[in-house]
A and B are shown apart, each in its own frame.
Chain A
Amino acid sequence: MSHAANAHDFLRDPARAAWHDQTLWMVRVKRDRQAAKVPDWEALREAASQIKEHTLSRLAEYLEEFESRAAANGIQVHWAADGEEHNRIVHGILARHGVRKLVKSKSMLTEECHLNRHLEEHGIEVIDTDLGERIVQLQRKPPSHIVMPAIHLKRAEVGEVFHEHLGTPRGLDDAQELTEAARQHLRRQFLTADAALTGVNFAVAETGGFVVCTNEGNADMGAHLAPVHIACMGIEKIIPKQEHLGVFLRLLARSATGQPSTVFSSHFYKPRPGQEMHIVLVDNGRSRQLGREDYRRSLACIRCAACFNTCPVYRRSGGYSYSYFIAGPIGSILAPNVDKAAHGDMPFASTLCGSCSAVCPVKIDIHTQLLKWRQEITAEGHAPWWKTLAMRVTGLVLKRPALYALAGRLARHFLPLVNLLKLDPWTRSRALPEAPGQSFREWLAETERAKPPAKNPPP
C-alpha cells in the first residue's frame, strides 16, 4: 500500500492523529531547548558533518584499523556482506554456545536483517529488552520510530499487551506501574539469558572500542551478565578517533530526546574475563550507497530521529505508513537504495520543507536527497502512472502560452467545482482559495490600455 493510502487510514481517527503529532512535536521542542543551551551547537554540527565526510572517504582504511585494534583487544570481528550472512554468523556463534535465550538491546540493524525471525526459526528465544521495543515485539509488530519504538501506542493499549503477555491486571494504564511490570519481567530475562546482543552507536578506529548509548541500561544489563556478547553494526558507524566521541555524544541525546546526555554511554574495549565478545560488521547495501554520490551523505546518519520528530508528514502519518522499517525523512532516502520499486513512493512522503535538514546533527541535506530520489524514481518509471501523466500534461501546457491561457481560464471557471467535488486530494480537508475573475495577463492588458500615454517617453 502506498504511503498516502496508509496515512489516510492513520488519519481516520483525527483525535489520535493530533495526539501523535503533538507528542512528537513536544520531543522536537525539547531538542530545541537543549540545542539552544549549547553555544557551540552549530560548530558541533559542522564538525560532525566533516568528520563523517572524511570517514566515508577513508572507510576501508578505518574499518581495517578498527578490526586490527579490536582483535588485539580480544574481540572477534566478523564481516557480513548482507543480512542473510549476518544472521548466519550470529546464529553460528549462538549455536556454538548452545544458546537458548538471547537478550537484545535496540539495534535497527538486526531489524533490517530480520534477525529475530531467523533465530526463532532455529529455536532460539529472542527477547527485545528496550521497553518500547519489547512492547511492539509482544504485539509481533515492528517499531514505528527508531528511537521511541512504541510512540504510536496509548498507555491503555500497552496495558492490554501487558495484561495478555505479562499477566498484569486488566485495565492497568499507569506508566509507572506498567514500566515496573516490564522491569520485573525483563530482569528475569537478563538473569537467565545465555547471550546478549547489542547495537553500536559509534565504533572508534583508533581504539578498536565501541560505544552503546541507552537510557534504560538494558544494553549493559545484557552484555555484562551474559557469557557471550555480540555487537552488530553497519560499516558506517566508524569514527576515526576517540576524541571525536566528544562531538557526537554532545549532539546525539540532545537531538534525539532533548536530554543533555543519555544515561549510559558505555565504552566497550575488551571482553570481561571469561566472556566472549564478537563484533559483526555489516555492509548490506551500504557500499552501494557509498558509491551513489547524490545519496552518499545519508551514511553519516547517527539515527537520532530528530528528522522524524520535526517532519510534518511523519508526525501526521505515523511510522507504519512508510513501507520501510526506517520511516521518516532518513528512511525515505535509505529505502530506495534497497529497493526502488518497493519503496519508490517514500521520497514523495515529504513536503520538502527542509525542516529535517535544519535539525539534522550531522547536516545531511535530507530534503535535497529526497528531491533527487523523486527525479530518479520518476525517470526510471517507478512513479505511479497518474503522477507521470499529470507531469507530462503540465509540461505540455507550460510550454504553450496559448494553451496555458486557456487552461487558466478553464481553471478559474471550474475551481468552485474542484472544491465542491473534492477532485484534488488537497481539497478533502481544505478549500482552494477563490479564483480571481481575470488572469494576470488580462489584467495587464487592460491596465495598459487604460493608461494615458507617457509625456516624456524614455530615450
Chain B
Amino acid sequence: MSRATILDAIRRAQPALKPLPEPAALGVGGRMENSISQFVATLDFIGARVIRGRSLEEAALWLRENLPAEARLASTVPGLPGNVDLGAVIDPHLLEGLHTAVFPARFGVCENGAVWVEESDLGHRVLPMIAEQLFMVVRAADLVADMHEAYRRVGQAGLGFGLFLAGPSKTADIEQCLVIGAHGARGATVFIWDEVV
C-alpha cells in the first residue's frame, strides 16, 4: 500500500497555503443571458432540435406523429407513456435497440445548451447513451443563465449519478469532420413547455 508514502511525499512538497479564491469576487458569473431565446439559439448551435409547447399533450402528439409506430420507446415522464417498461428491465444491456428515450431534465443552462439530468429520472444510467434518439422535457421556468447558477441547483447528498447533457453525441475525430451520433444518441430533441405568455 503506497498511501502513506504518497501522502508523505505530497506533504513534504506542497507549498505554504495559498488562499482559496471566491470566484464571484473575481468577477466570475452572472454575465450570461438568461432567456429562452438564448437557450434555443445555443441548442440550435450544438445540433439539438427544439420544440416549444404549452402542455405535455403537445409533446405526446409530436412523438406520435414523428416516431415510427413500431419504435421502442421508454419514458420516465408521467403523461408521456412509452411501450417499454423500464421497471421490468433489470439488465441495462437489454435496452439495446431502444429507439427513443423520453425523460425529464431538472433545468436547462442557457450558456451551453446543457440540461441537468439525475439518475432517479432515468431508470437506468445508460438510458441517454444507449437510445438512438433522446427526447428531453424541461419547463420554460427552469432555465439558468450559466454554470454557476446551475451548480447552485445541483444537489449532492444522496445522488448516485447525474449529468449535464448537451445535445446529441458527436465526434470530429476523423479529419475534424463533425459527425452527429458517435456512441450515444444520434439525435436529441428538447421540449420546452409551460411558457408563461
Residues on A close to B: CB < 8 A? Answer: 23, 26-27, 38-40, 43-44, 46-47, 50-51, 53-54, 56-60, 63-64, 79-81, 85, 129-132, 135, 148-151, 153-155, 158, 175-176, 178-180, 183, 186-187, 190-191, 206-207, 209, 215-218, 220-221, 223-225, 235, 240, 242-247, 249-250, 253, 257, 259-272, 281, 283, 287-288, 290-291, 293, 296
Contacts and interface: CB of A to CB of B under 8 A. Distances in A.
A267 B130 contact: no
A430 B129 CA distance: 52
Contacts of B183: 129, 183, 186-187, 190, 216-218, 221
B66 interface: no
A407 B183 CA distance: 64
B168 interface: yes
Interface string B141-158: 000001110111010100
B13 A288 contact: yes
Contact of A60 (B10, B20, B26, B46): B10
Contacts of B161: 266-270, 272
Nearest to A262: B166
Contacts, number: 270
Contacts of A155: 174-175, 177
A126 to B, nearest CB: 17
B21 A47 contact: yes
Nearest to A259: B46
16 contacts: A43-B26, A56-B18, A81-B2, A154-B175, A158-B174, A183-B182, A209-B159, A215-B169, A216-B182, A218-B182, A243-B23, A253-B112, A260-B45, A264-B163, A265-B114, A287-B12
B9 A149 contact: no
Nearest to A53: B18
Contacts of A262: 166
A269 B96 CA distance: 25
B114 A243 contact: no
B184 A217 contact: yes
Interface stretch (B28-36, B49-57, B71-79, B80-88): B28-36
Pairs A-B, 9 closest by C-beta atoms: A217-B184, A291-B13, A216-B182, A132-B173, A224-B126, A261-B112, A175-B177, A260-B112, A43-B27
A158 B179 CA distance: 15
Nearest to B48: A263
Nearest to A86: B2
A263 B170 contact: yes
A239 to B, nearest CB: 10
B100 to A, nearest CB: 16
Contacts of A27: 176
Given A38-B32, A269-B161, A50 B21 contact: yes
B165 A263 contact: yes
B34 to A, nearest CB: 14
Contacts of A240: 20
A191 B96 contact: yes
Q: Which of A44, A80, A223 has the largest count of B CB atoms less than 10 A from its CB?
A: A44
B54 to A, nearest CB: 28
Contacts of B6: 79, 81, 235, 281, 283, 287
Nearest to B147: A246
Nearest to B114: A261
A60 B14 contact: yes
| Binding site secondary structure of chain B | loop
B21 A51 contact: yes
Contact of A26 (B23, B129, B176, B185): B176
Contacts of B177: 155, 175-176
A80 B3 CA distance: 7
A263 B167 contact: yes
Nearest to B162: A267
Contacts of A190: 183
A218 to B, nearest CB: 5
B151 A243 contact: yes
Given A57-B17, A243-B148, A249-B147, A217 B129 contact: yes
B166 A263 contact: yes
Contact of B21 (A54, A60, A79, A265): A54
A130 to B, nearest CB: 7
Contact of B165 (A244, A264, A287, A291): A264
Nearest to A175: B177
Output the residue of A85, A148, A217, A267 with the most chain B CB within 10 A.
A217
B179 A179 contact: yes
A57 B129 contact: no
Nearest to B149: A246
A221 B130 contact: yes
Contacts of B119: 272
A289 to B, nearest CB: 8
Contacts of A263: 46, 165-170, 184
Contacts of B114: 261, 265
A269 B154 CA distance: 13
Nearest to B125: A224
Contacts of B5: 81
Contact of B93 (A56, A225, A267): A225
B19 A54 contact: yes
B164 A265 contact: yes
